[in-house]
Amino acid sequence: MPNRNKIYITDLDHTFLRTDQSVSDFSTKVWNEKAKNSILSVATARSFQKTHDFLDKLHLHAPMILLDGTMIVAPDKTLIDVKTVNKALGDAIIDEGSKFGIYPFIIALKDMDLNEAFLFPTTLNTHQHGVLENYRNDPRMMECKNIRAMDMNLKLVYFGAYEQLQPLTQHLKNTFGNELEYKLSPEKYSDGWFLTILHPEGDKAHALQKVVDHMKRGTSDVTVFGDSVNDIGMFKLAGTSVAVANALDEVKEVADIVLPHSNDEDGVAKYLEKI
């Protein structure tokens, strides 16, 4: 594609997707019209399959940033880059977390064909039970009585109360330092918090740099959209950063543009249509 084409990369949950996890007809129409002369893609905490399911009606011609930035995958499922936490380090994280009475969910690669496993512990708190309701029919699910890491762990995620996760975050930082990336963030639609643990280069900012390098472009050519803590690094790197109206305050503070419309009001699509 010619270099004059602008690049637009959007987060999915609470940004491009509506709260009921749908893509409106309006957003679909605007996206596909914009894709005729621009490069559109996504940067999401979602897996390849989930992202593909959500976006099956949308034209995607650029690498997708998946699972918080741990994987970069072309629309044809070609793996461009992956950043994993090895089994020894994953098991050590689990052991340290157990001292706080909490066990993580683990998203891991089972093979290099991008087949994933979603491991969850039998010991669950109220917040974790609530999250699992959304994954009831997910074929990746594997219940583990004694949860241990796999060989290629994409992310370990703890859900719980801030009073439990804040000291856990600090303890893990003190224990593992820069061996890992730690993102503690509120779940905006409940009173819970989540702590996501990644490879230190497995975040959206590092992935965005990889994507533009792969496309032989510069970050100044990119406009990004988001709402949450895991979008902040990407916001600081991109040429233009756009927060939806429902974004967290700390995200709005670093955004170049704050939209007047929320995800449920097709904020991203209205911006794309206007420009």
pLDDT in tens, 251-260: 999 999 999 9
Q: Which residues, in sequence order, are CB contacts of 80 under 8 Å at separation 6+?
A: 63, 72, 73, 74, 210, 211, 214
| Element of type H or E holding 165 | helix 162-176
How far apart CA 239 and CA 223 sit, in angstroms, is 6
How far apart CA 207 and CA 239 sit, in angstroms, is 15
Query: Domain coordinates of the chain in residue numbers?
Result: 7-82+202-274, 87-198
| Type of residue numbered 171 | H
Asked if domains 7-82+202-274 and 87-198 share a fold, the reply is: no
CATH 3.30.70.60 fits 7-82+202-274, yes or no: no
Q: What is the pLDDT of residue 188?
A: 67
Tracing tokens 């370990």 back to the chain, one arrives at 156
Look up the CATH number of domain 87-198: 3.30.1240.10
Q: What is the pLDDT of residue 2?
A: 43
- The segments of the chain whose pLDDT lies below 50 read 1-3
Is the whole-model pTM more than 0.85?
yes
Q: What is the pLDDT of residue 131?
A: 83
Residues 103/121, Cβ–Cβ less than 8 Å: yes
